[in-house]
Chain A
């Protein structure tokens, strides 16, 4: 079976004042259609760069990204991005920001009323119906992030790329949104690649967790299959042995494997598998 999405031996170098900086080295992983994959790794290792690579916002210096049999040549709305810094346009309201995306994706085939309904449904989904007419500077960090999530979800993308989407949220909102995300993904069957720092979140949401080694020249250290049945319920998982094994494996990688550039990772994978 050919994979739906493949990051194919991709390297990324940035031009800096001090010469070329190799952020990613030979990053290689596959994602099946409808799969939920998390990218986890230490701060600055290159998680956002991998996501931007799939989004088409960053060009690989070697290798490439293949989506559905076609080389990714640039960004496009079928790969929606929830940016790490939310990237809302400050002169548009929450509604305006989402509507801009909705209009672009569905404007050609739907009426204005339908577009409005979609935009409002997206706001409702992230619990921001009341903040409809607020501009980003009037929203809290978590609210801004939720608008960013709503904007991406409203586009009904084939691939949803999320860069620490729940980073700035309080525990309760975070849990609620994680649950809605699982529901939405089960419904839309979209493929998700999510960057996170949070081990529990990675295990709760993912089918597989891709662990990255520390940069510079970061690469994939290890990939963990999360063999937990869906739908998942966070309270039941607390008593699940597999859940704890998965969390422990990731924690171990982050504490040792990442620093050793993945050599220990192979052994760990055997131990866990």
Chain B
């Protein structure tokens, strides 16, 4: 994918040089210099594109090699054919528990969105409070330190016991694992606020609300978005595992189901899909972070 995009990105360079050279009568030395420039551009493109292609080739090569020794692991070719079949109809519905891979991914994304959104709704304001009032941070930091290292999946039984259903329990697990980075990063952003800015607020006797909107919020947004980015990454890691345990429709359970059917080529396709979605989520968050960071405007 990225190789294709990079190649296209180089194209305008080679295109614009051509008309420029055609419009003006070429000076004697322009011929070779133009050629060398195009050659240079191609070389640069090669430098950017070749290493990732090489890395991918090594991976596929090792995979192909290993698969020849294994009875169960399908090779790249078989997997590609399986992928083509899967993606020819990603949104079929054959029953409540038999849907296309597209539906499974969307279901998982929906759970992540809900758990992550709730975590943001609770975690970001909590982070602001902890950062702003040292009494609160003294009260809650020990609790956070204790709970944060706990694997999110350890919360699944609690979720199941409280909600008595698989779906809310999975969302609860996402909520729990997303909330720590949001609280901690937001609080860190507030605590890292330079005293100078607060001095301005004090001299102006700004109201607590003005301090929040004019100083605290803009100064902290980059930290909040870093926390959100971390949280989203973790949430996407965790949803696969928790769906394996809770079942239903979702990419995690889909992987587990295919494992029960010993359909390894589908599992490999799922791995690639999970990786791509994770990459897209991260890229989206990075874009968002850049959009709202005062340092990049």
Which one, A80, A87, A101, A104, contacts B199 given CB within 8 A? A87
B2-52 residues at the A interface, CB under 8 angstroms: none
Stretch at the interface among B154-162, B170-178, B212-220, B274-282: B212-220
Chain A binding surface SS class: loop
Q: Verify if A141 is at the interface (C-beta below 8 Å from B).
A: no
Least Cβ–Cβ distance between A67 and chain B, in angstroms? 14
Stretch at the interface among B87-95, B181-189, B203-211, B234-242: B203-211
Residues of A in contact, count (CB < 8 Å)? 23
Q: Verify if A135 is at the interface (C-beta below 8 Å from B).
A: yes
Q: Verify if B140 is at the interface (C-beta below 8 Å from A).
A: no
Bound-state Cα–Cα, A137 to B296, Å: 10
- Does A90 contact B295, Cβ atoms closer than 8 Å? yes
Assess A57 versus B294: contact at CB under 8 Å? Given A100-B204, A100-B214. Answer: no
- Does A83 contact B199, Cβ atoms closer than 8 Å? yes
What band does the interface of chain B fall in when counting residues whose beta carbon is under 8 Å from A? 10 to 19
- Does A135 contact B294, Cβ atoms closer than 8 Å? yes
- Does B203 contact A79, Cβ atoms closer than 8 Å? yes
Bound-state Cα–Cα, A143 to B294, Å: 19
- Does A77 contact B204, Cβ atoms closer than 8 Å? yes
On chain A, the residues within 8 Å of B199 by CB distance are 57, 75, 81, 83, 87
Q: Verify if A55 is at the interface (C-beta below 8 Å from B).
A: yes
Bound-state Cα–Cα, A55 to B204, Å: 11
B205-262 residues at the A interface, CB under 8 angstroms: 205-206, 210, 214-215, 218-219
On chain A, the residues within 8 Å of B145 by CB distance are none
Which one, B203, B215, B297, contacts A75 given CB within 8 A? B203
Least Cβ–Cβ distance between A56 and chain B, in angstroms? 8
On chain A, the residues within 8 Å of B71 by CB distance are none
On chain B, the residues within 8 Å of A85 by CB distance are 196
Between A and B, 27 residue pairs with Cβ closer than 8 Å are: A56-B202, A57-B199, A57-B202, A57-B203, A75-B199, A75-B202, A75-B205, A77-B203, A77-B205, A79-B203, A80-B203, A83-B199, A85-B196, A87-B199, A89-B200, A89-B214, A89-B215, A90-B294, A90-B295, A91-B218, A92-B214, A100-B204, A100-B206, A100-B214, A104-B210, A135-B297, A137-B295
Considering the complex of A and B, which 9 residue pairs feature the smallest CB-CB distances, nearest first?
A91-B294, A91-B218, A87-B196, A75-B202, A75-B203, A104-B204, A81-B203, A87-B200, A57-B199
